[in-house]
A = this chain, B = another copy of it.
């Protein structure tokens, strides 16, 4: 259990401001000390190459993110990415080791897919799901990687080639809800083009676009005036477990809501009937009740 941070943009963007606050929750302003991981999807400078697909850069460390030298590098090296998924971990299932460190990555139809989960699934959740052919297997011992492999195995079994984004969104929403029924399940998934956010309990997002203003981090003294570092057409969406800034309006996903972002915009949205939202306190209480931390 853990916290999530995602970014989806219409232009290559440096996440270091958000990461500077988020990483402090890994041992300084919060207790998520069992390692961290971050995956950057970077646009190919030559779109005719790499089949136009995004390449990735991954950083994982088993040290707490607030003091990790790898996190220092991530913070100081200006990496401009179209999509980012980051995760800080408080181990509940599976010890603190690299094989258990999110985000997990698999190649799907010649694309890199990254996945990070916050929550906790029932120990025997796999027994409660229909058997599915094994294209992907977990390397570590987390419920999270097991869930990711299950999701991808269902996907590969259902589709022999990539469906449209709309069909994909509907399919992934269905699987996320199936998993969410077996425990606590919030997740971020990206293939470098879109980013999917599913909220089983707590997830917030904000889309920054013109006119840009100042943002002040909740976990640090840092502030930034985005109007000085952006252009008028930039659109950058941040998604996270608990809002990173205290002077901006973050939108909260409903419980059981699924969104797909692309170019910083909502591409698809599936909101349940009679939608409800949890307070942050309620979300933390639910996480603690199932043995997860938040």
Contact = CB atoms under 8 A, between A and B. Distances in A.
Interface residues of A, number: 41
A97 B45 contact: yes
Nearest to A160: B134
Contact of A139 (B99, B107, B140): B107
22 contacts: A42-B97, A46-B95, A46-B97, A49-B94, A49-B100, A50-B97, A50-B99, A50-B100, A51-B138, A51-B140, A51-B141, A55-B60, A55-B98, A55-B101, A56-B98, A57-B98, A58-B60, A69-B73, A69-B77, A73-B73, A111-B139, A135-B135
Given A57-B60, A69-B77, A73-B70, A51 B95 contact: no
A53 interface: yes
Interface of A: 42, 44-46, 49-51, 53-61, 69-70, 73, 76-77, 94-95, 97-101, 106-107, 109-112, 135-141
Contact of A141 (B50, B136, B139): B50
B53 A99 contact: yes
Nearest to A91: B49
A54 to B, nearest CB: 7
A114 B100 CA distance: 18
A78 to B, nearest CB: 10
